[in-house]
Amino acid sequence: MTRPIIGIIGNSYVQDDRYAVHASGKINCEAVSTVANCMPLIVPADPCYLSVEELLESCDGFLLTGGRPNVHPEEYGEPPTDAHGAFDRARDAITLPLVRACVERGQPMLGICRGFQEVNVALGGSLHPEIRELPGRDNHRMPPDGTIEEQFALRHVVTFTEGGPFHRMMGAREVMTNTLHGQGITRPGRNVVIDGHATDGTPEALYVQGAPGYALSVQWHPEWNAANDPVSRPLFESFGDAARDWAAGQGTPARRTA
């Protein structure tokens, strides 16, 4: 049986300081394949190579991954500063209209870290370049030292809204998550509902109210240890179920005809 195809938004890198690549972390593919039970397809997020329309017709859902470059602040009406870090305007040009199209069509999408922020910006929201500088906020950045296991270790509680989609999905209002981000949401976008917060008030989970399909995003990285983590597993399982529903209703990409 053909599995639904999940477009995994890739990032641009320079390998060995000389070779330009588009890539995504292996754990993204593993979570999509083994937990969501879908076929992972890494997408070069650059409008020079593909269009949003082609992606919508080729995939059943999209995983908006994390990445070191940030959404350019001009996308939410602010000037860039050194605090905003590096940017990837090519990825912005693909993911922001892709988010809006998925919301309109009901095509499943799951945002992670930068993807969480992309969803908010695409729908008219804004970001803060360094949330640890805000009064009362903690440092949510990745620990600079230690093993990869230590960097992705569970570090803080996220509390979900009573009766909200994340509470219902997880079967708990409070969960432990990792944290590896510097930016964060300041103003939610249109119909963006913040459904989970860290203990310092930082937005950590959202859904798009009124979206006809699966439109959830999280600020943490559930792709890490997704098969075994009690928070990550239901998130990817529900995402896979939504992609199967979409494929069943629309026809799988391989079987679609003009």
**pLDDT at position 247, please?**
96
**pLDDT at position 134, please?**
77
- For 168-176, the CB contacts below 8 A with 24+ separation are 169/234, 169/235, 169/238, 170/230, 170/231, 170/234, 171/234, 175/230, 175/231, 176/231
User: Is 119 within a domain?
Assistant: yes
Q: Which of 75, 118, 204, 223 is catalytic?
A: 223
Q: Which of 113, 167, 181, 204 is catalytic?
A: 113
Question: CA–CA separation, 231 vs 210, rounded Å?
Answer: 24
User: Is 227 within a domain?
Assistant: yes
User: Is 200 within a domain?
Assistant: yes
Q: Which amino acid is residue 122, in one-letter code?
A: A
**pLDDT at position 254, please?**
41
Counting the structural domains of the chain, the total is: 1
Output the domain CATH number for residue 59.
Answer: 3.40.50.880
Active site residue 140: no
User: Is 162 within a domain?
Assistant: yes
- CA R_g for the chain: 17
CA 19 vs CA 10, 13, 16, 91: distances in Å: 16, 8, 6, 18
Q: Give the residues across from 12 on adjacent strands.
A: 22
Q: Which of 72, 167, 181, 221 is catalytic?
A: 221
**pLDDT at position 1, please?**
67
**pLDDT at position 3, please?**
97
Question: Which residue segment(s) compose the domain that 187 sits in?
Answer: 5-253
Active site residue 223: yes
Count how many residues are written for the chain. Answer: 258
Match 């005809």 to its residue by tokens. 257
Active site residue 221: yes
Question: CA–CA separation, 4 vs 107, rounded Å?
Answer: 12
- Return the H-helix or E-strand segment holding 242: helix 232-250
Per-residue model confidence as pLDDT tens for the chain (258 residues): 689 999 999 998 888 989 999 999 999 999 999 999 999 999 999 999 999 999 999 999 999 999 888 999 999 999 888 777 788 999 999 999 999 999 999 999 999 999 999 999 999 999 998 877 778 787 778 777 778 888 888 889 999 999 999 999 999 999 999 988 878 999 999 999 999 999 999 999 999 999 999 999 999 999 999 999 999 999 999 999 999 999 999 744 443 433
User: Is 248 within a domain?
Assistant: yes
Instruction: For residue 8, give the nearest of 90, 66, 86 by alpha carbon.
Output: 66
Give the global pTM.
0.93
User: Is 258 within a domain?
Assistant: no
